[in-house]
Amino acid sequence: MNRRCLPALILTAVLAATPVSAQSSFYDLKTRMLDGKPADLAQYRGTVSLVVNVASFCGYTPQYAGLEKLHRELKGKGFTVLGFPSNDFGEQEPGSAEQIAQFCRTNYDVTFPIFEKVVTRGAGQSPVYAFLGRSGTLPSWNFGKYVIDREGRSVAFFASDVTPEDGRLRAAIVKALGGR
């Protein structure tokens, strides 16, 4: 074997073995919508996203109303809320995809994208939360919120008790939007 080719072969092998969680941008990830259709998060590149692990039967579930209001208020400025249902905490999202969609539509008129149910931590962790965990923080309960900047970097995390109306969350979103 030609010795000059060895570094290129090693680099190729390393890149091929690199897990999705090692991607450099949130927007490099692929997942599935709640209805099972493939979803490429690249469609949100250039926007600011608020990624939230949601659940239908949680004490924080009423935050859906504030998340929807925030989404509608700022979507014209390059912002979107992205919901990822999870049954990790207290088994508070036990429903099927159809049940989750119906719940969100009927109770909160949710129009922001909802993706397939995910595991946020531990065995079977989704690539989305493996990536987000690289920020040093994973949700400890439902409705943990990550502000993702236009380049796909996690720039802020807010725990479940921080509501969509909280000034700190809004300030982080406005900052990521570039003050727009």
Residue 58 appears among annotated catalytic residues: yes
Instruction: Identify the DSSP state of 33.
Output: B
Alpha carbon distance, N-terminus to C-terminus of the chain:
56
Type and span of the H or E element at 77: none
Catalytic residue among 41, 48, 58, 114: 58
- How distant, in Å, are the alpha carbons of 91, 125, 128, 135 from that of 17? 33, 18, 18, 21
- Cβ–Cβ < 8 Å for 119, 107: no
Contacts 24+ apart (CB under 8 A), 133-139: 133/21, 134/21, 139/53, 139/86, 139/89
Active site amino acids: 58
